[in-house]
Chain A
């Protein structure tokens, strides 16, 4: 039998039993659609998180107070009771490192801001001039913090877009004096609105010089030191040099943790990638179930069409011809199911993107290819048994079943 004839024969046989065919196509398409949509969700989450992390800044190295648990045992640390705080001078020392472009100390706390009888709680970030460029924030109006001695900050503030709107409304904010905690500060700049992201929401943030913030919160410690390396290749060097420099200042004790944005990013990337894979695996189970359904449907088809199989044999069909015809039918059911499922899945992912525009819900190519080929493979594998059963039927017995 010619290939085109085999395919046409299989197609006619499939469409001859619409209910049966629709059901198995549906099962297969749900399986494939599940793979496409679930991996689109998983990969969307991964891309979203990675994108958010990248927007934190480029070539970022972050110094945190306290040892990380993963550093291994160091006898020098066993003696210390409490880790030393990170200070502004610690941050200042990092500026001299050759691999470092910019450094910004960061102290954070909550306080309240008051202007013209209005009062609200705000998040206060104490830092320096380089904080805004390191974090890739943009200034909508005015200027950022001034370049000055880190230990003697002037009484200025840069405020977030939402705070500007709430405190000043339509009036100009630049140059106004506001009260933050117990200080009177002049507003010198307004940040551009960023909306909700993974990082800090700057819309409700007030940035002040770091020494001012420490005085406000009555503390000498820093929350973080943000370091921007010269280049991507310099990140590892900057990390090591920062660690060495701080260790030296802390009498040889490794009481800080230095992380690179790349490492955090890679971890999240791996974690969410694994999650996507797991989700795809779960969806693939439904494909296997669909495959078993196709087998069931084909077994029923063989029983239903026993008389026809006997006839085909009487008319000179070889076992191979009959096997191919039934296999083609099974393959067709799963191929159409896979195609419909693919379209449904893409439609679902499209709908997700429409409803959640920030969420890049695109199914990854590997998942689409794996989903489609798994569907086709299961359809074929589960089609083999019914096809062989059909080919083995005894023609005389089969003809009597008419």
Chain B
């Protein structure tokens, strides 16, 4: 059973009189433990796809099965539970809560899930150590460097031990060196079995993934796993 199974996904946006097909006729399978890079020009639907996978958005048509379960028909509260327990997000602009300390930001998903303070402290302490943030536990986000902020965000994304991590241009706001560090961290998580889906504009970073998806106009232009088939299609078409 695939971790993710998309079939016939359509996502349309109404912009005045015109409809934008952000995602069109999308079929996709991703196995548990995969490392996937999503690439393509701006406006090709990469973020829309990621939001959909993260249950932040619903398709107009098609079905999305996560771990074998159709999640498009779940109630908002059930979707929230799935996000809380199965999915971790990493954003380009970090999205840390400015008034909370690094430790509190990392603990936030557990706080929202109602996990006891004792358990929270234990896991946060471990995460701070794992991500090299021990000395920064009580710092507010504005007292941290960009790389440290993204490390806090990654620690936060993993603190609930999700099966799937979705990262939308995680290195977009970082210099090459810090970006490299962050990618290494994400890859280390993947090495431990977490499914990793990264949207990136950086071909070098995309190439590091074991599977590349290229999008164009809301469609899958190429998929490295099925490249042979698509080439075959081009020849015959």
Contact = CB atoms under 8 A, between A and B. Distances in A.
B91 interface: yes
B56 A395 contact: yes
B20 to A, nearest CB: 14
Contacts, number: 68
Contacts of A13: 99
Nearest to A9: B111
B108 interface: yes
The secondary-structure label for the interface of chain A is helix
B156 A315 contact: yes
A15 B95 CA distance: 20
B218 to A, nearest CB: 16
Contact of B97 (A2, A308, A395): A308
Contacts of A399: 56, 91, 95
Given A320-B77, A402-B95, A312 B51 contact: no
Contacts of B99: 12-13, 15-16
B81 interface: yes
Chain B interface size, as a band, is: 20 to 34
Contact of A396 (B51, B100, B108, B160): B51
Interface in B122-158: 156
Interface string B52-75: 001011000000000000000000
A318 interface: yes
A315 B84 contact: yes
A9 B97 CA distance: 11
Contacts of B80: 313, 316-319
Contact of A319 (B76, B89, B91): B76
A285 to B, nearest CB: 35
Contact of A12 (B54, B83, B100): B100
Interface in B89-128: 89, 91, 93, 95, 97-100, 108-109, 111-114
A5 interface: yes
B186 to A, nearest CB: 17
A263 to B, nearest CB: 64
Nearest to B56: A395
A12 B140 CA distance: 13
Interface string A380-398: 0000000000000001100
A191 to B, nearest CB: 71
Interface string B145-176: 00000000000100010000000000000000
Contacts of B156: 315
A327 B70 CA distance: 33
Given A1-B114, A321-B112, A316 B84 contact: yes
Interface in A1-57: 1-2, 5, 9, 12-13, 15-16
A351 B62 CA distance: 72
B57 A315 contact: no
B27 interface: no
Nearest to A392: B76
B81 A316 contact: yes
Contacts of A316: 80-81, 83-85, 109, 112-113, 160
B111 A1 contact: yes
Contacts of A307: 95
A264 interface: no
A277 interface: no
A216 interface: no
A311 interface: yes
A307 to B, nearest CB: 7
B112 A315 contact: yes
A314 B54 CA distance: 8
A396 B51 CA distance: 7
Given A314-B83, A316-B81, A402 B89 contact: no
A314 B111 contact: no
A396 B99 CA distance: 22
A317 B82 CA distance: 10
A19 B112 CA distance: 27
Contacts of B100: 12
A83 to B, nearest CB: 81
A318 B56 CA distance: 12
Interface in A298-348: 307-308, 311-321
Given A315-B84, A318-B77, A318-B81, 8 more contacts: A2-B114, A5-B111, A314-B56, A315-B83, A316-B83, A317-B84, A317-B112, A399-B95
Interface of B: 51, 54, 56-57, 76-77, 80-81, 83-85, 89, 91, 93, 95, 97-100, 108-109, 111-114, 156, 160
25 contacts: A1-B111, A2-B111, A9-B111, A12-B100, A16-B99, A307-B95, A311-B95, A311-B97, A312-B112, A313-B83, A314-B89, A315-B83, A315-B89, A315-B109, A315-B112, A315-B156, A316-B83, A316-B85, A319-B77, A321-B112, A396-B51, A399-B56, A399-B91, A399-B95, A402-B93
Interface of A: 1-2, 5, 9, 12-13, 15-16, 307-308, 311-321, 395-396, 399, 402
6 nearest CB pairs, A to B: A316-B84, A16-B99, A316-B83, A318-B80, A395-B56, A315-B109
